Amino acid sequence: MEYFIWLLKDILWPKKCYSCKKEWHFFCRQCLSKIQKYEDKCYLCKKQTKDFVLHTKCRQLVYFDQVIILSHYKEKIIKKLIKDWKFYWKKDIFEELWLYLYELFKSIYKDIKNKQDYIVVSSPMSFFRKLKRWYNQSYILAKSFSNHSGIYYEKNLINKTINTRQQSKLNKLDRMKNLKKSFKINDKYIDMIDNKTIIFIDDVISTWTTLNEISKVLKKSWAKKIIWLIVASD
């Protein structure tokens, strides 16, 4: 049924690529191949690494292990796509970008034999922020990724308990204070985390402050590894 709804929407209101204006895609593969991809580098020190894995020394400073990023936020098309889906309710844009994220992930993790050792999670959003935007874009990306990959997704694993100020408007020190104790693991699922690899999926990151605060509560509950899968970053 969902497929026919998408088909009907494509017939009545055909998608157009934001770049080349061809129909049937918001961002076609040909245009994707032309933009600057995010290099395989450690997200913390910005030096070259393999498959986006943080260097051993860098992992001693933070709680996450790997930050896989599709593209640079400075790319005009990527920035336009993200702003439209975030602030103008164009949720259909996610239908293609989650697939590009999945393909990037599969290029690194080619054969996951024990999918039960992984959990897909979306970045939590406070009630008031969700009420303002109508939906959580991270949830849409993560749910689609889970459906396609067959890896279990739990949307209620992490809760945001405090309606914090917008991170992009704060300096580094204030960002850390702003997020302190703002994330909590749902007691119902805490045993699920033990020795699991957590795949966190989100649209944009500008600093590692939020990543680290969320990863911190997971590692303290004995998560084995934290992977962040992101559409774009600076």
The per-residue pLDDT for range 111-159, each reduced to its tens digit, is: 888 999 999 999 876 555 555 555 677 888 999 999 999 999 998 998 8
Of the candidates 126, 158, 129, which has an alpha carbon nearest to the alpha carbon of residue 142?
158
Structure tokens at 204: 């944009």
**What percent of the chain shows pLDDT beyond 70?**
80
| Better-scored residue on pLDDT, 78 or 6 | 78
Q: For residue 95, give the amino acid letter.
A: E
| Better-scored residue on pLDDT, 11 or 72 | 72
Strands 158-160 and 183-185: antiparallel
Kindly tell me if the per-residue pLDDT of 96 is higher than 60.
Answer: yes
Kindly tell me if the per-residue pLDDT of 185 is higher than 70.
Answer: yes
Out of 67-71, 90-94, 115-119, 175-179, least confident range: 175-179
Of the candidates 18, 34, 38, which has an alpha carbon nearest to the alpha carbon of residue 26?
18
Of the candidates 185, 101, 190, which has an alpha carbon nearest to the alpha carbon of residue 149?
101
Average pLDDT of the residues of the chain: 83
For residue 25, what pLDDT is reported? 84
Over residues 208-217, the pLDDT tens digits come to 888 898 999 9
Tokens 């164009």: give the residue: 90
For residue 191, what pLDDT is reported? 92
Q: Exposed/middle/buried for 214, CB within 10 Å: 0-12, 13-18, 19+? A: buried
Distance CA 61, CA 215 (A): 12
Q: How far is C-alpha 192 from the geometric centre of its chain's CA atoms?
A: 21
For residue 3, what pLDDT is reported? 47
- Classified as helix, coil or strand, 66 is strand
User: Between the CA of residue 191 and those of 134, 194, 222, what are the distances in Å?
Assistant: 31, 6, 9
Structure tokens at 6: 């998408």
Distance CA 228, CA 119 (A): 12
Tokens 């992009």: give the residue: 168
